[in-house]
Amino acid sequence: MGNEWRVDSIDRKRFNCPCKNGYYEKVTTTMSDDYLRTDEEIKYSMECESCKILYTYRSFYGWILKSDNQKLEQQEQLINNELKSPKEYILGKYKDQMVNFLNNKPRTQWYKKWRDVCHYTNTIQTFRKYTNSIEDFLINYGNFYGYRCILEWMGIEDPIVEEEYKIKIDELRDVKRDILNSIEKKAFR
Ligand SMILES: [Zn+2]
């Protein structure tokens, strides 16, 4: 028989909803398995009909307006679209140079940069495995910021990357930061 997880307890706590005419529930489910490991799952459920129409739950923020959430998602979409052309541009122009350059650098050095600049969170062992093929890694896991970091390491400053792409992307990210700040101020917890 395989390992089985069982629900040990379900705890429901009620809190006032934003309009105060109803409530939302925080549902905590605790589980354990055959090896006595435990796990916990937390869900938020809006039980007020009018707040249900207006609000959605977002981790780390709380209940936020669906309209704000939509604004945020649209902005994230804009950023993702905007990141496509620089990726193509940099790979098209510098891929072989980057592969050659990285081929001669210790993985630990590259890993450290990748971690600091791209907020890469995997372990060095995983990084080594993924970078078995440098070319595949650059194509599949590389992003604009990672590429910029490698170009800088190579001593290349490409005016199109720095002046055109980076400025545009930074502007979009500033707008996203403003949206997040306003969401954080208004969030209901
Ligand atoms: Zn309500």
pLDDT per residue as tens digits for the range 40-54? 999 999 999 999 999
Centroid of ligand 1 to alpha carbon of 42 (angstroms): 21
Residue 178 shares a structural domain with residue 134: yes
Residue 36 vs residues 31, 42, 93: alpha-carbon distances, Å: 9, 20, 54
Centroid of ligand 1 to alpha carbon of 30 (angstroms): 28
Centroid of ligand 1 to alpha carbon of 23 (angstroms): 6
Given this model, what pLDDT does residue 51 score? 97
Q: What is the rounded distance in angstroms from the CA atom of residue 129 to the CA atom of residue 22? A: 52
Q: What is the rounded distance in angstroms from the CA atom of residue 99 to the CA atom of residue 104? A: 9
Residues recorded for the chain: 189
Nearest to 90 by CA among 165, 169, 163, 141: 165
Centroid of ligand 1 to alpha carbon of 141 (angstroms): 43
Centroid of ligand 1 to alpha carbon of 54 (angstroms): 9
The count of domains in the chain is 2
Residue 36 shares a structural domain with residue 120: no
Centroid of ligand 1 to alpha carbon of 59 (angstroms): 19
- Spatial neighbors of 7 by CB under 8 A, at least 6 apart, are 29, 30, 31
Residue 171: inside a domain, yes or no? yes
pTM for the model stands at: 0.74
Centroid of ligand 1 to alpha carbon of 84 (angstroms): 41
Residue 47 shares a structural domain with residue 75: no
Centroid of ligand 1 to alpha carbon of 52 (angstroms): 7
Centroid of ligand 1 to alpha carbon of 17 (angstroms): 5
Q: What is the rounded distance in angstroms from the CA atom of residue 189 to the CA atom of residue 169? A: 32
Q: Could you tell me where the beta strands, DSSP code E, fall in 17-150?
A: 23-33, 38-46, 55-58, 62-65
Q: What is the rounded distance in angstroms from the CA atom of residue 153 to the CA atom of residue 57? A: 41
Centroid of ligand 1 to alpha carbon of 49 (angstroms): 7
Q: What is the rounded distance in angstroms from the CA atom of residue 18 to the CA atom of residue 57? A: 12
Residue 49 shares a structural domain with residue 102: no
Centroid of ligand 1 to alpha carbon of 72 (angstroms): 23
Centroid of ligand 1 to alpha carbon of 24 (angstroms): 8
| Mean model confidence pLDDT for the chain | 93
Nearest to 56 by CA among 69, 40, 47, 43: 69
What is the pLDDT confidence band of residue 1, given thresholds at 50, 70 and 90?
low
Residue 125: inside a domain, yes or no? yes
Write phi, then psi, for 174 (nearest 5 degrees).
Answer: -65, -40
Residue 78 shares a structural domain with residue 163: yes
Residue 46 shares a structural domain with residue 103: no
Give residue-wise pLDDT tens across range 93-149: 999 999 999 999 999 999 998 888 777 888 999 999 999 999 999 999 888 889 999
Residue 74 shares a structural domain with residue 54: no
The domain containing residue 21 runs over which residues? 6-58
Q: What is the rounded distance in angstroms from the CA atom of residue 149 to the CA atom of residue 146? A: 5
Centroid of ligand 1 to alpha carbon of 48 (angstroms): 5
Residue 103 shares a structural domain with residue 148: yes
